Amino acid sequence: MAPMTRSFSPEGVPGADVAAYYRRRAAAQVGLILSEGTVIDRPAAKNDPKVPFFHGEAALDGWRRVIDEVHAAGGRMGPQIWHVGTVANPQTTWVPPAPAEGPSGLLAPDTPRGVAMTDEAITDTIAAFASAAAEAKRLGFDTLELHGAHGYLIDQFFWEGTNKRSDRFGGATLQERSRFAAEVVKSVRAAVGPDFPILLRVSQWKQQDFKVRLAPTPAAMTDWLLPLVEAGVDVLHCSQRRFWEPEFPEIDGENGLNFAGWAKKLTGAATISVGSVGLSGDLFDTFGGKSSQPASLAKLVERMERDEFDLIAVGRALLGDPDWVSKVRAGETASLREFSAAALGELV
């Protein structure tokens, strides 16, 4: 199950309804659940009051209930550890108790928002990622995922459009701008030890600009991702809107490897792919209010059978229907449902 923000945790504390939501997926044969983004202990780590914290006794008690229920139902799960950086949330008037923070106080190129992080802020943020990771392990989660995608904090360091720093966390190359993420990964690895799997989610696209590609070539992708694998990432979760789209068609054609396929080939790490599995429309159709219909899995099966990537994440299909995996396994395709934006308003 792909990580999906649901904003059903008042005061940042996930309750019994959130635990039941994840338990239902575990009971219906979802192999691995990644939680909604849940934020580290920084004052402006979130931009929505109902996004869960991953720190503090009340929120962590809530998460303990989540993982205990998921385990009791036979599932496995990791929290997605998040800091939103300078991204605003137009859906709420709530403001965090401190200004938004990012590498250079930019939301996008030429779009100032929030403050540029000081050395001290960066050090504290890296430590906060590590302590969230230690809590994930202590509570009994099976893994954790660092959210390094979609234009949020870690991705704002990767992107030259939002990282204008002249210190060791900035630079002209992607490898230099990956240093912040690498330091986060190293401190997380030190916090959880050698045997706890660390996932890192990355994307070429940014919510600020869907057309951005951090790595326009395989060489650039290697410079970006290999240091992160060397720093301690076990699994790269390569976010795409449509899993069947080739990453570098100019090299291996229209049916060539997707992002997760290239990331696996270039780094040797295990990878997860994602994007419109089982649905006719993509994520942005949903946010634009369009419904998506159940769609064939044939192209997915073909890619999985050629071992292009190791795991596939399913987002909206599972958000709308807790039994999606069981139905697919049993071949009950006639009972698969359409997905509409209305599903986002409730926790079923």
Ligand X SMILES: Cc1cc2nc3c(=O)[nH]c(=O)nc-3n(C[C@H](O)[C@H](O)[C@H](O)COP(=O)(O)O)c2cc1C
Looking at the annotation, which residues are catalytic? 152
Neighbours of 128 (CB within 10 A): 21
- Whose Cβ is closer to ligand X: residue 344's or residue 347's? 344
Contact between 303 and ligand X by CB under 6 A: the answer reads no
Buried-exposed string 298-315: b where 16+ CB fall within 10 A, e elsewhere: eebeebeeeebbebbbbb
- Whose Cβ is closer to ligand X: residue 36's or residue 321's? 36
Out of 316, 321, 325, 336, name the contact with ligand X by CB under 6 A: 316
Contact between 277 and ligand X by CB under 6 A: the answer reads yes
- Whose Cβ is closer to ligand X: residue 4's or residue 27's? 4
Contact (Cβ atoms closer than 8 angstroms) between residue 199 and residue 142? no
Contacts (Cβ under 8 Å, ≥6 apart) of 195: none
- Smallest distance from ligand X to CB 194, Å: 25
- Whose Cβ is closer to ligand X: residue 23's or residue 150's? 150
Distance CA 203, CA 231 (A): 18
Contact between 5 and ligand X by CB under 6 A: the answer reads yes
Contact between 201 and ligand X by CB under 6 A: the answer reads yes
What is the contact mask toward ligand X in residues 22 to 61, using x (rule: CB under 6 A)? Answer: --------------xx------------------------
Contacts (Cβ under 8 Å, ≥6 apart) of 117: 101, 102, 103, 125
| Alpha helix (H) residue ranges in the chain | 16-27, 57-72, 119-139, 153-158, 174-177, 179-192, 218-231, 249-252, 259-267, 283-287, 298-305, 316-320, 324-329
Q: Which of these segments, 64-72, 90-98, 162-170, 277-285, binds ligand X (CB under 6 A)?
A: 277-285
- Smallest distance from ligand X to CB 245, Å: 12
Q: How many residues does the chain have?
A: 348
Contact residues for ligand X, defined by CB under 6 A:
2-5, 36-37, 80, 147, 149-150, 201, 239, 274-277, 282-283, 286, 314-317, 344
